[in-house]
Structure 1
Amino acid sequence: MSEAKKCYPQCEVFRCAKKALGYRGNTAWCKWTEEECNVSNCTYATCIKRRLLPEGICGETLKRKTVEIDPEEAVGPPVKLKGKALRRVGEKEIF
């Protein structure tokens, strides 16, 4: 899973929204356009797991990047209140 792989019509989770996918020999064929199935250019190409990314890249082959944020960094500067909001909350600053 180190590199992104292209989705292909023989994948078990690949579906054609027009239900026009057929096979002629070993190649996947679109019955609607009468051409070979091209996942990256087809607007009707879908994935059952909803992992199909633009340009026909399979999202199952990508590794997610996660970043841990300290709680102190996540909290922004305090908001100063005036007027009616100050009377309702009762504090001059809220987080």
Structure 2
Amino acid sequence: MWNVLDDDAVFPTDEVRPSEVAPVLPLFGTVEDETVLGWQERALCAQTDPEAFFPEKGGSTREAKKVCTGCEVRAECLEYALEHDERFGIWGGLSERERRKLKKRVV
């Protein structure tokens, strides 16, 4: 086996100073994405059929809205949809049309 270190190499001690530690970066996305979108992991829709949240035109939204009613991250979901101008699907318990009306009232 080869020694790739110098014989005089200084080995790190068990004590590591915070200034010496390189930051840990996620492989995908950014650190902000992980904290901002963390609500999606707790969303009830992530545990149900996604097709219910994107019904065909004229299709029922009742089932999706029923799931949203009991979801703990409903407010975060709606806020995300409004901020990112989501144009399709049920987000935060509201349809596309309902979100447009809400945006008009706020503006």
TM-score with structure 1 setting the length? 0.21
The one of the two structures with greater contact order (alpha-carbon pairs below 8 A, sep at least 6) is: 1
Q: TM-score, with normalisation over the residues of structure 2?
A: 0.19
Which has the larger helix fraction?
2
Q: Specify which structure has the higher proportion of strand.
A: 1
**Bigger Rg, which one:** 1
